[in-house]
């Protein structure tokens, strides 16, 4: 289960969580390359990972991170759940993400 589903646990029915659709898709590099090659008008010469936050040193400030996520996605959550449910979910999300912050922080970064 996702961290968000775990944060919603006990706030709403499992059926309501299961019907929630967060329309985000991150295309894996291989799929992107295959699509470009199939199109035929472009060629990928180099593909690699980038550091999305080169200024970030040390651990991630989870309360600030969650505020940014909330600013971008709160409307999608409020369309499915009551406002107070969304509020509580984002409150619960901070400690849950802090629990796994070592895994998040352990992702290799390009210096």
- pTM for this structure? 0.64
Please name the residues in contact with 13: beta carbons below 8 A apart, sequence gap of 6 or more: none
**pLDDT of 75:** 93
Q: Where are the alpha helices (DSSP H) in the chain?
A: 3-8, 14-19, 29-39, 62-78, 83-99, 101-105
- State the pLDDT at residue 109: 54
| pLDDT tens readout for residues 3-43 | 777 778 888 888 888 888 888 888 888 898 999 999 889 88
Chain segment 47-103, per-residue pLDDT in tens = 887 777 777 777 778 899 899 999 999 999 999 888 899 999 999 999 888 888 766
Q: Decide: helix, strand or coil at residue 100.
A: coil
């Amino acid at each position: 289960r996702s961290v968000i589903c775990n944060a919603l646990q006990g706030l709403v029915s499992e059926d309501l969580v299961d019907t929630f659709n967060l329309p985000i898709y991150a295309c894996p590099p291989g799929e992107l390359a295959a699509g470009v090659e199939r199109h035929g008008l472009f060629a990928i010469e180099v593909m690699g990972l980038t550091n999305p936050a080169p200024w970030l040193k040390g651990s991630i400030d989870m309360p600030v991170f969650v505020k940014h996520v909330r600013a971008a996605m709160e409307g999608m959550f409020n369309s499915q759940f009551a406002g107070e449910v969304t509020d509580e979910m984002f409150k619960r999300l901070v400690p849950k993400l802090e629990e796994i912050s070592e895994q998040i922080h352990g992702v290799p970064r390009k210096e």
